[in-house]
Chains A and B, each alone.
Chain A
Amino acid sequence: MRLLLLAVLLLLGAGAGALVLRRRPRLADGVYVTLLLAGAAAGLSQAVVVLAGGAESVVAVAGTLPGGPWAFGLDPLSAWFILPILGVGACAGAFGVGYLGFERSHRPVAGTHALFVLLLVGLTGVVTAQAIVPFLAAWEIMAISAYLLVMHDHEDADVRRAGLIYIILTHLSTLALIGMFAALSVNATGHSFTELGLGNRTPGAARTVALGLALVGFGLKAGAVPLHFWLPGAHAAAPSHVSAVLSGVMLKVGIYGLFRVVSLVGAPPAWFGWALFGLGLVSGVLGVLWALAQHELKRLLAYHSVENIGIILLGMGVGVLGVAYGQPAVAVLGFTGALLHTLNHALFKSLLFLGAGAVLRATGRRMIDELGGLGRRMPWTAVAFGVGSVAIVGLPPLNGFVSEWTVFQGMLAAGASREPLRYAVVGAAGLGLIGALALACFTKLDGTLFLGHPRSPIAGRLPLRDPGTVMLGPMLALAGLCVAIGLLPAVVLRPARLILTELAIVPGSGALADTSWSADAMGVTVLGAGLVAAIVLLLLARRWLPAGGVARLAPTWSCAMAVSTSRMQYTASSYAAFLLGAFGPLAGTHVSRTADSFHTSVADPVQDGAVLPAWRMLGRTSVLLRGIQGGRLRWYLLLVIFTLLVLLLYLTKAGRAS
């Protein structure tokens, strides 16, 4: 725990340094990056020690603080979430130094760097808090610093709107969490998590209310449909390195919260598992479908986060169902899949956002349909982005495949068990649909951005090249981690199973002591290594063919099309049009046609179809109530007299009854 405290101090020092030294940009950047990386290294090493089986430790701050003693601790679950927080946070922070460096001339950036550090500290506090009040305090620090970071480009009206929706909804989630903690404290003796856990082991009304509020509060924070609509706006409006942390890490505290609640409650009821399962399936399918329809680069990536949160919720749902129906093997697979996908998604989603940031910096364009052919000018960015794309689709041999494989295994194992858990096997077809839609979306993105010809003259004229080391280094590091975890899944499977043992979520020790998982992990390693070896062998064999060396270059033949311009190639919208048309009104695209123009626009179906109309209706009905505030004194006096008469009547009736 001491190392983690040191890490927090170093991070705060980095932020302070950026603020204090803001007159000397190069020194400020150097101090910031060094202290950030040092702090991350300290925290990560502590987390790795705990995950490898080291002892956990608790630090309690004594004194008369509100809500009882404030305790922070690092148990294996917290350590698992520290990995993405500090790891991805450090990469994104380093990237941000280069990314925001361009803006120094017209906007102060020291504040943004300091707020970024504050966000990381808040996130660390949330996952290490062991009592109610420190948890909520850290939660608020995290939410507000995220809001201020989202509002970095506050001159833009869209950014302000996105920030407003975000802050309203995040406080809605805080409200739900306060209610949840209140319900949990009804049967508990104190405010620390251990005391809450002891008091809530048996089913009761308070526990049911707490679980429902947990779903709302943590689900909203994680971005599950239908409470996801703050996500695309906020993640697209923020600077790219902040989006990486928001999408990759901040959504995961919702998942952390759900894991904590499940461990506090002991034996979760079956309805909770089915609710998680259903939410996960719906979020996954709708998230990726709406992502496919987007025209803007960062909004597309943000909707994909909704989909991946859906996959994590699916895994958690399978885990809870396994516990509720007494199938520990299924539970282990489901929870392991959810934990793995949390880490993997943090890695590849932040990689994709950093890549998007690099593209944005180099071209100045956010719309996918205006870009093209960037692969030739920015090869390393293209390679890193490609690795992230293959990982997010869940294809072997990368890390997305490992976590999706584990979740699939959970659902298939559920199918091989008894009623009514068997019905969960239909989730396998749903997850397959999600994977195929993700493949469509990322072939669209990669193909339009990096391949082919540039689609607008601007994308071809700027001096495009790969970003510098401080921006490229983090991307390549994250890509390397994706490949490493994909080829060696045992490295992450072991700590995940340790977490489940420590948390005692899964009853009985048989399923967790079973070591047959290592044979499966070895199988995945052999498959991945074999695949890579096969591709390399084919490449070499191709060179040694007699015809191998002689290659001619010519314009694209394409069935003898004589003249092929860059405007004739498929745009991203036309690529996705056939698939979106097959899904009909579910996809949320609106087409407007006139005699001489054709325009498609994308709206979030939940926000523009349900929430905003309900909001407007609320406004209209509230106008009716305006009549009460007429401004006439006589009318107010009459209301007071009327209320007094009603109270008098009630008191006489109550008096007569007693």
Chain B
Amino acid sequence: MSALHELLLLCVVLTNFWVLGTTRLSSTIRATAIQGALLALLPIALHPSWSVHTLGLAGGTFLVKTVILPGFLAWAIREAAVRREIEPLIGFSTSLALGAVAVAISFGIAQRIPMPESNSSLLIPVALSTVMVGLLVLTTRNKALSQVVGYLVLENGIFVFGLSQVERVPFLVELGVLLDIFVGIFIMGIVVFHINRAFDSLDSTRLTELKD
């Protein structure tokens, strides 16, 4: 079982690269859905105790991260009729290269961070790199929906980080995390919808035209 969680974490990093490198928005949403499924399996792989609690957490994570949120985003894409991301601020190739650098940095500094002993030596680096990739997508993409995807990836990174810190998975922590995501996405969804209505476009660079 110990190899399974390492495999899952490696696939999480690969989905990060997928999000960075693809130009189609539906592809990025598919990547976050798969990332969500991987994260749903992660608590089971880390604590193979098969308790109701762990299975419930896994099921809930799966439902929210793989079914509900990606479905919501896909609906938003259809409504706004947006298919592709235009060339981001730093270019797709540079994003991929920076993503690789982020992975290198997180693996490099993960041992230096003073942390209590955790179940897997891969959790901290993968969490750090996912957070960095999420921030990268959030700050450099032009379309508002891509920025939402970046925010989702960021939250996934924090989720992995949280998994490394708790021995048993207390109820309160995961409720907080999931609610946090839910509220954030809900607000973003509303904002996106209104931007689309008001400006007939989801291009966030045009938000600077708000001033008179």
Show the binding face of A for B, using Cβ within 8 Å.
582, 584
Contact = CB atoms under 8 A, between A and B. Distances in A.
Interface of B: 91, 93-94
3 contacts: A582-B93, A584-B91, A584-B94
Contacts, number: 3
Contacts of A584: 91, 94
A40 to B, nearest CB: 48
A582 B93 CA distance: 9
Contacts of B93: 582
Interface majority SS on A: helix, strand, loop or mixed? helix
A582 B92 CA distance: 11
Contacts of B91: 584
A355 B176 CA distance: 73
A582 B97 CA distance: 13
A315 to B, nearest CB: 24
Nearest to B93: A582
Considering the complex of A and B, which 3 residue pairs feature the smallest CB-CB distances, nearest first?
A: A584-B91, A582-B93, A584-B94
A584 B97 CA distance: 14
Nearest to B91: A584
A122 to B, nearest CB: 45
A115 B201 CA distance: 70
Nearest to A582: B93
A582 B94 CA distance: 10
A432 to B, nearest CB: 15
Contacts of A582: 93
Nearest to A583: B93
Contacts of B94: 584
Nearest to B90: A584
A587 to B, nearest CB: 14
A318 to B, nearest CB: 20
A303 B94 CA distance: 25
A584 B91 CA distance: 9
A584 B93 CA distance: 11
Nearest to B94: A584
B93 to A, nearest CB: 7
A382 B168 CA distance: 75
Nearest to A423: B108
A428 to B, nearest CB: 15
A582 B96 CA distance: 14
Nearest to A426: B104
A296 B94 CA distance: 30
B159 to A, nearest CB: 31
A142 to B, nearest CB: 42
A582 B91 CA distance: 10
Nearest to B104: A426
B21 to A, nearest CB: 15
A584 B94 CA distance: 10
Nearest to A584: B91
A608 to B, nearest CB: 23
A250 to B, nearest CB: 36
B111 to A, nearest CB: 11
B104 to A, nearest CB: 9
A584 B92 CA distance: 12
A429 to B, nearest CB: 11
A247 B84 CA distance: 50
A379 B94 CA distance: 43
A426 to B, nearest CB: 9
